Amino acid sequence: MARGLTASQTIGPFFHHALIHDGLEVLVRPETRGERIVVTGRITDGDGAVVPDAMVEIWQANADGRYAHPEDRREDAPLDSAFTGWGRCRTDDDGRYRFETIMPGPVPGRGNTLQAPHIALTLFSRGLLNYLTTRIYFAGNPLNDTDPVLGAIEDEAARRTLFATCEEGGDMPVWRLDIRLQGDGETVFFDV
């Protein structure tokens, strides 16, 4: 007689109950320096169906291009004690994520290159054994043309999957990047 058998599920969706708390999607406080923006989008699977129960994390530099991380010791870019640069949210029933943050500044890259302003995004979802990592770049920024990460993506259509576009949003600019997990128009994901 078999005892103690459990379901064969390999992963979640446990995010809503244990890892996501209200307020983590707002990275700014009144004293945070920089241009306030909203970053939003919809996550869909390979068939185009929305992913309503994913967890999205972002990490970014502050408006001066400095990360709130012990390894970023650059003195030419000050820290902002009112900005941690990290946030987390769940997708809603329509697969949408939304963060209130600031426009990040450019950060140094390898070999004295300058990376365009971007936000690192990590996605956790039911059915994914490993998280997915990508970046959000801002369409029209002149540094996009010389960004070493974007330059390493040879396929122009694939590169475009990383560009958020600005929409009118009332008090703050709204930058939208939809994420496709696989199939036609699949978002570029990085092996990190």
Tens digits of pLDDT across the chain (192 residues):
455 554 444 444 444 445 555 667 999 999 999 999 999 999 999 999 999 989 999 999 999 999 999 888 888 899 999 999 999 999 999 999 999 999 999 999 888 889 999 999 999 988 777 899 999 999 999 999 999 999 999 999 999 999 999 997 678 999 999 999 999 999 999 998
Tell me how far CA of residue 122 lies from CA of 24, 97, 125, 128, 190, in angstroms. Answer: 14, 12, 10, 12, 10
Would you state the pLDDT for residue 19? 53
Rounded to a whole number, what is the largest CA-CA distance in the chain?
68
pLDDT per position as a tens digit, 82-108: 999 999 999 999 999 999 999 999 999
DSSP label of 117: S
Between vectors from CA 175 to CA 71 and to CA 86, what angle results, nearest 5°? 30
Q: Is 96 helix (H, G, I), strand (E, B) or coil?
A: strand
Ordered by where they begin, the domains of the chain are 15-180 (2.60.130.10)
Task: List Cβ neighbours of 18 (8 Å cut-off, separation of 6 or more).
Answer: none
Residue 28: φ, ψ to 5°: -110, 155
